[in-house]
């Protein structure tokens, strides 16, 4: 798992599996956000599978799907709301980690 720290309370990663959720918890994260739509790529774990694993580990989970290359302002505000509501530190993932990092950058840039 490739965890990239973006801020003290926020990190991103490429797609994770349910088996890796325990590692996310062990790394000190309290919440997971999936920024990847289900079915984006064949064989990708569904968000619900990660959500169930997160719940089993006592972590909060939110699915804020963002279509690659088509981020909207609604996506940004949904992500900002999730970051305000979830306990930190927060671990977010998508296919490569880029969407999750870009969302965070826009939220900080706009002061959301």
pLDDT of residue 112: 82
- 16-51 per-position pLDDT tens digit: 999 999 999 999 999 999 999 999 999 999 999 999
Cβ–Cβ < 8 Å for 13, 1: yes
Domains of the chain: 4-110 (3.90.190.10)
Rounded to two decimals, the pTM is 0.96
Class of residue 65 by CB neighbours under 10 A (exposed 0-12, middle 13-18, buried 19+): middle
- 69-96 per-position pLDDT tens digit: 899 999 999 999 999 999 999 999 999 9
């Amino acid at each position: 798992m490739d965890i990239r720290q973006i801020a003290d309370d926020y990190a991103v990663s490429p797609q994770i599996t349910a088996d890796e959720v325990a590692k996310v918890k062990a790394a000190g994260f309290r919440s997971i956000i999936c920024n990847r739509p289900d079915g984006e790529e064949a064989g990708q774990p569904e968000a619900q599978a990660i959500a169930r694993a997160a719940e089993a580990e006592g972590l909060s989970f939110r699915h804020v799907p963002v279509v690659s290359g088509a981020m909207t302002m609604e996506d940004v505000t949904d992500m900002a709301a999730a970051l305000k509501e979830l306990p930190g530190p927060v671990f977010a993932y998508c296919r490569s980690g880029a969407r999750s990092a870009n969302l965070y950058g826009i939220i900080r840039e706009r002061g959301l």
